[in-house]
Amino acid sequence: MNLTEVKQMLLLDEQADTEMIQTAMEEKLLAAKKEILTLLPVPSLIKKRQLNLSMWIDAETITSASSSEGNQIARESQIDKAQDRIAFLESYEQLMSVIKLEVMNSASFKGLSEVISEALRLQTAYMTGFKKFFSEYTEALPEETKSREMIDTGKLLNAIKSNNITSDITWEIEKELARITKLPSVY
């Protein structure tokens, strides 16, 4: 890839200057961040978006439009060590909040790609843990679930803490189990 190819990707003419290129790259990065935030519950979709970021990482390197240094993500996932439903859901909620913040704070496509890797690991741990901690529930029928409609884990956490598992909550758990089963594994 060369600078001309980068300008073509950004739909800029040959006369585009450094500032125009940088502004266009920043707009592409912001659009990518917004898209990733909406896709976080579906690991296979964010994995596809991550693969598409490689050309933008290359473009960043060529144009030096932003720092190509990635985020330093070094945290131990407590979600894998949870001993009960409450600890599991609290850990997931906390880590998902951190990841969403890191997505929005990513200053480069490389950094965004690294955050996506962390999100994929979290979603994989979440799916494994959810099946483990809610195994006594039966799955809803696949046609009754949608891959992007994830259970509201905060609402579920509050229901468990208050010992108020209603039939609506039970139905949501069943749909979540079916959604997880439908999703392809990415790791």
By the 10 Å C-beta count (0-12 exposed, 13-18 middle, 19+ buried), 110 is classed as: buried
Q: Using CB atoms within 10 A of its CB, is residue 66 exposed (0-12), middle (13-18) or buried (19+)?
A: middle
Q: Where are the alpha helices (DSSP H) in 40-134?
A: 43-63, 85-105, 109-133
45-88 per-position pLDDT tens digit: 888 888 888 888 888 887 764 444 544 454 556 788 899 999 99
Q: What percentage of the chain's residues is helix, strand, coil (to nearest 5)?
A: 70, 0, 30
pLDDT in tens, the chain (187 residues): 665 676 666 766 677 677 887 888 899 999 999 999 988 878 888 888 888 888 888 888 877 644 445 444 545 567 888 999 999 999 999 999 999 999 999 999 999 999 999 999 999 899 999 999 999 998 877 677 776 788 999 999 999 999 999 999 999 999 999 988 887 665 5
Instruction: Note if the pTM is more than 0.85.
Output: no
Q: What is the DSSP letter of 79?
A: G
DSSP 108: S
Using an 8 Å Cβ cutoff, are 37 and 97 in contact?
no
Residue 136 has what pLDDT? Answer: 94
Which residue bears the tokens 């592409």? 28
Rounded Cα–Cα distance for residues 84 and 7 (Å):
52
